[in-house]
Amino acid sequence: MSRKIRQSRLFLLLASTLILCFCLAAGYPALVDALELELTSWKYNKELILQGSQSYKYFYLDEDIYREANSSLSDLRLVDKDQFFVPYYLQNTYEDMEWQVQEYTSRLVGTATKNHTSSFDFEVQSIPKNEDIRADTLVLGLQSSEFLKHIEIYGSYDGHQWEYIKNDTIYQTAQFKKLEIDLGQVYKYTFYRVALLHNVEAYTLDSLILNRNDLKWESKKYERQKKAPFTHVVEGKRSMITIPNPDRLRIVGIELKIPGVFQRSYRVIANENDPIATQENEIYQLSFKEAQVTHSKINFYQPVQSEKLTLSIDNQDNRPLQIESVEILFSLDKLVFEDSGSGPYLLYYGNPEALQPVYEIQGWKKHIEKEEQDLVKLGPASLVHNQAAASKPYWLQQQFLLNGAIILASLILLFVLTRAISAKKG
């Protein structure tokens, strides 16, 4: 082989080696970071602390997650030790629920009075064919403008042998009334007796309606209640109670602790100008001779995740109320996944660009909810960026050192090859 051909080959080898070295210098850090690029798009993660032996695990999202995750929770990702995404589904409060009410009428079949206690016996009518009576609520009919009475309720299958069910209080004013009695469970009695205690006014019950309320859920109801900070400012005839929600919790209700006797209308506003639909529009605390009636809980039709709520109470010409404390009721989301033994697991959250994942497990949740599940705990929040940097060796974190080392090696190789070519020429 001629000298000229050997020199050409050495030159090609030299050029290829230099090109390879410079490509490594420019591209190697990118290759290293590519494995972590997707997960470092998330801001936070939490480690799951596993416990129990069941295949399916669950935990409730906490304030850290609600505060930093997308409002739709589309950025939640569960990751195993091999950095594979683990399928999961969320179970929340407001999924596919429906009330079904079965109503039974009755007729008055007997009355009696003894020692100022008046008893009224009713027989259930309109019983569906081939069905048992199943009632958990009674609605009483008492014709009087204002009253407050303590009552006792009994049940019987034949109208002769009576069994005690419970005692309660009924009342009616110009604005408020309570004539519906929750029995606490389902009963199958054919006869019901309602006794009005201390009935010196000789009130009479005109009717009794029985209801069975069936609530069908595809998911359970997960809620939590806690005290909330608030500010109270009086503006003209209105009391403005501002409740911050920095964690963006899904608030479904507000409960106030207020002393004294009062009756006030209100409205609730999200942020600055967004009205919130509530199930009622008045709070009150009324005092009767024998009892006190309080309604100071405000219920929303839908969860509200605004960062600030304002309760505006109309005082009219009355003195402003003294608000002792405010509690918020908020719904929780439960995250359920299958533990395949590839833990430990990390929950990633805090990525505004992340889209809602679609997992097959979501179609099986009705069946999985019937299985035993273990509650796992959430560790403290960690910054993903800090973890990624700490997981690399120091020399790899300093990209300029890596590039410099590769260029230096290239120059040394260039020097060696040049000397070799010179020696061949000589």
**Does position 219 have pLDDT exceeding 70, yes or no?**
no
Q: Tell me what pLDDT residue 29 has.
A: 42
- The model's confidence at residue 406, banded by pLDDT at 50, 70 and 90, is low
- The model's confidence at residue 369, banded by pLDDT at 50, 70 and 90, is confident
**Does position 401 have pLDDT exceeding 80, yes or no?**
no
Question: Which position has the higher pLDDT, 58 or 419?
Answer: 58
> How confident is the model over 84-117, as pLDDT tens digits?
999 999 987 545 556 678 899 999 999 999 999 9
**Does position 197 have pLDDT exceeding 80, yes or no?**
yes
- The model's confidence at residue 414, banded by pLDDT at 50, 70 and 90, is low
Integer CA distances (angstroms), 417 to 1, 87, 158, 220, 291, in order: 19, 55, 112, 75, 103
Every domain range in the chain assigned CATH 2.60.120.260:
98-216
Q: Tell me what pLDDT residue 14 has.
A: 53
**Does position 45 have pLDDT exceeding 50, yes or no?**
yes
**Does position 50 have pLDDT exceeding 80, yes or no?**
yes
Of 73, 202, 92, give the one whose Cα is nearest residue 149.
202
> What's the CA gap between 80 and 343, in Å, rounded?
5
Best-predicted range by mean pLDDT (326-330, 391-395, 418-422): 326-330
Q: What is the mean pLDDT of the chain?
A: 84
Q: Tell me what pLDDT residue 385 has.
A: 77
- The model's confidence at residue 34, banded by pLDDT at 50, 70 and 90, is very low
**Does position 339 have pLDDT exceeding 70, yes or no?**
yes
**Does position 333 have pLDDT exceeding 80, yes or no?**
yes
> What's the CA gap between 120 and 142, in Å, rounded?
11
**Does position 15 have pLDDT exceeding 70, yes or no?**
no
Q: What percent of the chain has pLDDT over 70?
A: 79
> How confident is the model over 111-170, as pLDDT tens digits?
999 999 999 999 998 777 778 888 999 999 988 878 999 999 999 999 999 999 999 999
- The model's confidence at residue 173, banded by pLDDT at 50, 70 and 90, is confident
To the question of pTM greater than 0.75 for the whole model, the response is: no
Q: Tell me what pLDDT residue 66 has.
A: 95
Q: Tell me what pLDDT residue 421 has.
A: 60
> How confident is the model over 242-297, as pLDDT tens digits?
999 999 999 999 999 999 999 999 999 998 889 999 988 999 998 877 777 889 99
**CATH class label, 223-331:** mainly beta
Question: Which position has the higher pLDDT, 189 or 39?
Answer: 189
Q: Tell me what pLDDT residue 230 has.
A: 97
**Does position 404 have pLDDT exceeding 70, yes or no?**
no
Q: Look at the chain and count its residues.
A: 426
Q: Tell me what pLDDT residue 97 has.
A: 58
Question: Which position has the higher pLDDT, 65 or 273?
Answer: 65
Question: Which position has the higher pLDDT, 385 or 204?
Answer: 204
- Does domain 98-216 fall under CATH 2.60.120.260? My reply is yes
